[in-house]
Amino acid sequence: MDPIKRGRYYYLGNSFRIKNKVVYREKYLGKSIPVNIKAVREEFLRECLSIEVFKKLDAIKDSYNKEWDRLPESVKKERLIDISVNLTYNTNAIEGSKITLEETEGIIRRKMSPNKSLDDVRESVAHSKIFFSIINEKEKLSIGLLLKWHNELFFETKPDIAGMFREYSVKVGDYRAPDWQDIKKLMNEFLLWYHSKNGKIHPVELAARMHYRFEKLHPFGDGNGRIGRLIIAYILSRANYPQLVIEYKRRKSYYHALEQSEDKFLQYFIRRYMRMDY
């Protein structure tokens, strides 16, 4: 969604689907591109999504919560374990774990350890525990909370980096993450943005943008993907929306979306959310 020049004037344009029709919207920018073009672009996309998409997301939430409220407490407990297994398996598999979905279920549900890497087993157990803490979390999202999750995830397997921001440079493919000396400042700005938008923009949009921004910061030496996906779980849980599982088998489209602009990633995220089987 880049500015389009027509003669002496600039516009933003966006195409999106409503039911079976493709709708095109434009926003007039003027004779020059505004200095705050990123914010203007973000707000324009939000206006386009508000026409139909956010209504569909709210309908998913309402339907899910009506069904959830009818469930006996024992069934809710089992469903939450199922969600934890699904999230834990997929997020760890994306990061290279060789533990299968069935083995993850054995680890979490039956406390059975497969004949696999002990570190992978420990990180599966830790991830599940963090997920259950998140769905009951009362603490506001903060640097302290993120460091706590990271420490709990890695204190047994990577104690030299657990609960600490990186102090060295990293590259993810062709992308060079910000200088480590800027991480604390950038993380403070990241959380200030979250608190300024929380409750003011749609929770699914907030989850998508927070995940994207976190992955671009890449503040940890390892575990950025898992912590970033736990941020999604935290935001959706606090807004009573069903969880989104970034599936291992569809990881290539996820990687591709992260390589695009933030607005493109948001559109990918919403498409995946709407296709989930709730």
Per-residue model confidence as pLDDT tens digits over 140-180: 999 999 999 999 999 999 999 999 999 999 988 889 999 99
Mean pLDDT lowest for which of 81-95, 236-250, 264-278?
Answer: 264-278
Q: How far apart are CA 245 and CA 86, in angstroms?
A: 7
Tell me phi and psi for residue 51, to 5 degrees.
-60, -40
pLDDT band at 42 (very low <50, low <70, confident <90, very high): confident
For residue 203, the SS3 value is: helix
Extents of the domains making up the chain: 1-40, 52-275
When the pLDDT of each residue in the chain is averaged and rounded to a whole number, the result is: 92
Q: Which of 14, 99, 91, 25 is nearest to 250 (CA)?
A: 91
Instruction: For residues 262 and 258, give the distance between their C-alpha atoms in angstroms, rounded to a whole number.
Output: 8
Which pLDDT score is estimated for 249? 96
What pLDDT is recorded for position 22?
A: 72
Architecture of domain 52-275: Orthogonal Bundle (1.10)
pLDDT of residue 52 exceeding 90:
no
